[in-house]
Amino acid sequence: MANEPKPKAPNVTPAPAALNLVTPESVAAGDTVFAVTTSPSQPAAEAVAPEGDDARSKLAQLFAHLKIAKIVFVDDKAELQTDAGAVIKALAAKPEASEALAPFFVGVLLNLENDALQEQLAARLAELDGDKLAELRAVLSAQSEDAAEREALGRLQDLLPDETTAHLLTPQAWYERRAALIAECTEERRTLFLFDQELEVDDAGLGFHKGSDIIRDMAEKERAGFGTRWFCGMLTHTVDKDEEVASWRRLEKSEKLDLRFFMPIAKATLDDAPTFYGAVYRTLINTYSQTMKNLAADAFEKALEDALERFSDLDPIDFEHMIVKSSETEGVSELETLIRLYGIIQKDQVKTQILQQARVSDFSAAARTVKDIADIGRELSATSQERLHKLRWEELYESDELVNGYNDPLRNGDLFEIGEGANLKLWVLIAQPCDLMVRSNGERAREDNFKVAVLAPLRTRELGVEAAMKDGLTFSLDHYDHNGAQSAAVLLADATPANLHVLDLAVLNKDGACQLGAEADPDLSLPSRSWEKREGKLRAHFGKVSRQIEDARKAHKDAVADLLAAAVVPRASPKKGFVKYGAYDKGAYSYPIRRRGRIRDPLATSLLNAYSRFLARDAYEHDYSRAG
């Protein structure tokens, strides 16, 4: 007998109302209390998949840490009506259901064309005993258009921890027992309330039609209970799996709900135990996370108000000197100095607001709670990892839109694409910031010194490979590409001197292209007077080359002029590979070079320091005593 195959569970999941009732009182109260045990039709070994066992174990730990002793789920599918109307509804939705229903209605033509169908069904239903009604309910559940949802409610049973009491309530039962269930919630025995969003309630006297109505009512009457005595979520088919956060934000606006008080959970997650656990985890930490975000947002808002007030109070002479005079002297754009000034004021005001005692206390309490449960089986999903990588990329790098769209001057850490097609390569500009600064006369302090700046090649690593340790010959750039998922390395040993006259052309173009038209663009708006003069200097520099080429054209025709152009057009670097980059056409210059972004500080400063260390590395005498 031990070798006989175990019986398979039937395909039809019993209706939730028929789940394991554990107390007569619960039946009388109008709800279903189900224990987390296997049903007779499901052998224990097969009832829950291994991943389901893991999810249950994690939920048990999570509930224990947060002192959650009970789950209450309110769903209009919690009780399936077994009247004539329910049978007719099943036949209308699925005519072939007549075959499964026929044993319960012997002698009745189960067809909607039967004019006496309603009366005949009612008569047969009156003859059925309790067991037959339960069997009929199971068949109706499987045949109705709501069958999948009803089966989902049964699967919820398998995912809950053994120690957790769970109540499945109809909307009517919730209306009748709301006060008692909320009164049972304490800080030592908390409850997780889950509500279906679309409840299909016909009785207007209940005061709600959707799960959001119930949560809003709880928030208005018992706001202090969220996160202290209970948690709320929406376990609903109206939300798709992996779309919970987007739906959460939409529901906030459409249902006028505070984000802190709810989190949607897709019913589809009941088919995926790890995903269901993650969705419940998100629901439980949401209250604390939103508390921290709200506290921070309040501090930021007050800090902004104070910063703007302090900003407005600046003496006009002080403001003029900081923004205009000092910027002109140093060759910095007025807007850059303005942003710097605001950053100083705003940072101090934010810190002042955050450090207020009451706010720090509430923030720390929420943070400690989240920290206590953060390691209970919480794994970052692929989408979460993508979002975090992208945010980290935004912290480390500046997009080409922000850099080029502002006609921002060259900076240490500027990134360039150089070449075309298969020969396209990435390079980074490394230079001491003061040496890159264009002064008020439109020139740099060491304009023609080839040591002012270098271009170092950049190589991306294989996707998913972590950035290696910095070995002195390379510098690692974490989260460089693929929205922060791919790292890269700067090859310091392959750096080559950069011709800033060529790279400066990127500043003149909104797309970051190193190009110079034969005529000045009257609509060009540069960020400072220094750079307005710089444009003139650049035109004079390239104009000298143009005159040399055109003079040759007049004297020796096009062929000689083209040969001369190939020899004298300024190159971005003296490196041999750069000789082919640069074209001249009737006074205009174009290069297959485009600025595509920037490494932000302090990472850009770390890159400069790494290059300085590379140049200053020790060189040891060779060991002539070594054999071989």
What secondary structure does DSSP assign to 159-204, as a single string?
HS-TT-EEEEE-HHHHHHHHHHHHHT--SSSEEEEEE-SB-----G
By the 8 A CB rule, do 242 and 265 touch?
no
3-class secondary structure for 374-391?
Answer: CCCCCCCCHHHHHHHHHH
Q: Which residue has the tokens 């975090």?
A: 388
Q: Looking at residue 50, what is its pLDDT?
A: 63
Condensed to tens digits (0 to 9), the pLDDT of residues 261-315 reads: 999 999 989 888 889 999 999 999 999 999 889 888 888 899 899 989 999 999 9
Integer CA distances (angstroms), 302 to 311, 339, 594, in order: 14, 19, 41
State the chain's mean pLDDT as an integer. Answer: 84
Residues 6+ away with beta carbon under 8 Å from 50:
none
Residue from 157, 151, 150 nearest 56 by CA? 157
Task: Compute the C-alpha angle 56/186/172, nearest 5°.
Answer: 75
Which is higher by pLDDT, 573 or 86?
573
Q: Looking at residue 4, what is its pLDDT?
A: 42
* Amino acid of residue 256: K
Can you say whether the dihedral through the CA atoms of 388, 393, 396, 401 is positive or negative? negative
Percent of the chain scored above 70 by pLDDT? 86
Across 82-98, average pLDDT = 83
Rounded Cα gap, residues 219 and 568, in angstroms: 75
Across 61-81, average pLDDT = 85
By the 8 A CB rule, do 196 and 168 touch?
no
Q: What is the DSSP letter of 575?
A: S
Condensed to tens digits (0 to 9), the pLDDT of residues 373-399 reads: 776 766 777 788 888 888 898 999 999
Structural domain boundaries of the chain? 16-79+148-273, 84-143, 291-399, 409-615
pLDDT at 150 over 80: no
Residues 6+ away with beta carbon under 8 Å from 456:
427, 428, 430, 490, 491, 492, 494, 495, 496, 611
pLDDT at 318 over 80: yes
Backbone angles phi, psi at 62, to 5 degrees: -60, -45
Which is higher by pLDDT, 1 or 424?
424
Residues 6+ away with beta carbon under 8 Å from 193:
71, 72, 73, 74, 218, 230, 231, 232, 233
User: Which of 130-134, 307-311, 587-591: highest mean pLDDT?
Assistant: 587-591
Percent of the chain scored above 90 by pLDDT? 45
Confidence of residue 622 (pLDDT cuts 50, 70, 90): confident
pLDDT at 6 over 70: no
pLDDT at 470 over 70: no
